[in-house]
Amino acid sequence: MTKLHFYANSVSDPSFEAYLRDTHRYLDYRDVRDELLPKLFESIEQFSKGVNFRFTCSNRFEGQEPELCIQSPVGFVPDVIHIEFPPRHEFFCVKHANQDTKVQGLENLAAHLHVLLVMGLAHWQPT
């Protein structure tokens, strides 16, 4: 079982992706979804050991910007991580636990997410 699962939404995903194409953020979104997140989860040793949990991802467009939402397993903090895609190339806003962090570039995004996940692992007891 993979630790990262993407839920498809046949109703909203085409609109979500069309908006990202119009704002020239679609390639950044695909880089995050298809490369950055899978490699990030593979790089964290603790995730490769467990088999009874899963992080799920979905596309959301409920706020000002489109976002990729990562729902953590029960008891993991942060419980939800939102990666927003504002109109500026390779600029991201990461939201979790009432905190907003703006990062520039995929490497900085990966580093920030890595810190969030490792800190969450330090306090998490899988069920």
Q: Which domain holds residue 74?
A: 4-122
| Average pLDDT value for residue range 73-81 | 92
What confidence score (pLDDT) does residue 82 get? Answer: 96
Q: How confident is the model at residue 12 (pLDDT cuts 50, 70, 90)?
A: low
The yes-or-no verdict on residue 28 having pLDDT over 90 is yes
For residue 75 the two structure tokens come to 């008891």
- For the stretch 42-70, pLDDT in tens is 888 877 776 577 899 999 888 789 999 99
Number of structural domains, the chain?
1
Tell me if 36 is assigned to some domain. yes
What confidence score (pLDDT) does residue 3 get? Answer: 76
The yes-or-no verdict on residue 1 having pLDDT over 70 is no
Tell me if 127 is assigned to some domain. no
Tell me if 92 is assigned to some domain. yes
- For the stretch 102-112, pLDDT in tens is 999 999 999 99
Amino acid identity for residue 79 in this structure: D
What confidence score (pLDDT) does residue 7 get? Answer: 85
Going 28 to 65 to 108 to 56, the CA torsion angle's sign is negative
Tell me if 104 is assigned to some domain. yes
Nearest alpha carbon to residue 79 among 116, 47, 50 = 116
